[in-house]
A and B are shown apart, each in its own frame.
Chain A
Amino acid sequence: MNKVIFDEAGCKGCVLCVDVCPKKILAPDKSRVNAKGYNPVVCNNMADCTACAICAKICPDSIITVERG
């Protein structure tokens, strides 16, 4: 399965990745805040991920790693 890995501590909750994801499987986790005080973005349906890495390319803070496998 493809994998999107977030370095959650670095997420600033800008949600640019959520906006550009073609599969619309990313969302901020409203139940948690990271040390910076933001809701970290998580992937809710990894099975649908195509590993296109568009989320990672737009992430200004380079906190997303995408693996195909």
Chain B
Amino acid sequence: MPNPNNEATRRVVYEKSRGLTDTPLTYCPGCTHGTINKLIAETLVELDVLEKSIAIAPVGCSVLAYEFFNCDAIQAAHGRAPAVATGIKRAEPSKVVFTYQGDGDLASIGTAEIIHAAHRGENITVIFVNNAIYGMTGGQMAPTTLVDQKTSTSPFGRAEATTGKPILVSEMMATIPSATYIERVSAHDVPHITKTKRAIKKAFENQINGKGFSMVEVLAGCPVGWNLSPVDSMKFIAETMIPYFPLGVYKDEGVAV
């Protein structure tokens, strides 16, 4: 039996990815942005492309993502990350270019940019973090806010009669002929985090193999914006978000599934 105090037999099972910088994350306690950030960082390290990756940070809670990813990065105007990524990828096709966008960024002001980046079949990777709220600006209602969900601008709950139902981005993107890979995953518990990492890895592998536009939508928690504890916000994702935003692959290899 190995000596338990022998340092030579110790093995690190898990540690912070070198794909992240030492800068402390600026997200609120229990925010799954941090989880998704580290999955991307781990993926870039595992695929050995960290040194040639370029991140496009959005506007929103993750606006400072360029401080966290240990690779080159640029921060785009609100919603315009796919347009900036298009330019960078076309100028530097050997680089691995990805955008990291929230729902206020991608599903609202940036709807045109994301649709047309997919429509052109740009060979980029998009990580879309859907937490059903505008976090950074104070918890306002987003296009993805659930019906009856209370936010600072829908204090009595989102009213379907005047504001409609939440937009289903993955379903919409899967209808675009030139999109290659669209999947919706969730970051609310460890089994789903493992699946999320697998989806993110595939989205990057697609780009490295020149397969075209890939987007992974990750259901995420906003404990502060939702006025829930971090643990309860994970339950909210599982019990309330997933029934409306079904998980799964919506398109693969350019074929709807």
Which residues of A come within 8 Å of B, CB atoms? 1, 3, 7, 10, 12-16, 19-20, 38, 51, 53-54, 56-69
Contact = CB atoms under 8 A, between A and B. Distances in A.
B230 A14 contact: yes
Nearest to B230: A14
B9, B10, B33 pick with most chain A CB within 10 angstroms: B10
Nearest to A65: B15
Interface string B185-196: 000011001100
B156 interface: no
A34 to B, nearest CB: 11
Interface string B228-245: 001100100000000000
Q: Which 9 A/B pairs are nearest by Cβ-Cβ distance?
A: A60-B34, A14-B30, A69-B10, A12-B29, A53-B14, A14-B29, A56-B14, A62-B16, A14-B230
B13 interface: yes
A58 B189 contact: yes
A38 B29 contact: yes
Interface in B166-223: 189-190, 193-194, 223
B32 interface: yes
A15 B4 contact: no
Given A19-B231, A60-B35, A13 B17 contact: no
B13 A57 contact: no
Contact of B12 (A13, A20, A59, A67): A67
A61 to B, nearest CB: 5
A15 B230 CA distance: 8
A58 B223 CA distance: 15
A26 B194 CA distance: 22
B198 to A, nearest CB: 13
Nearest to A18: B231
A33 to B, nearest CB: 13
Contacts of A20: 189-190
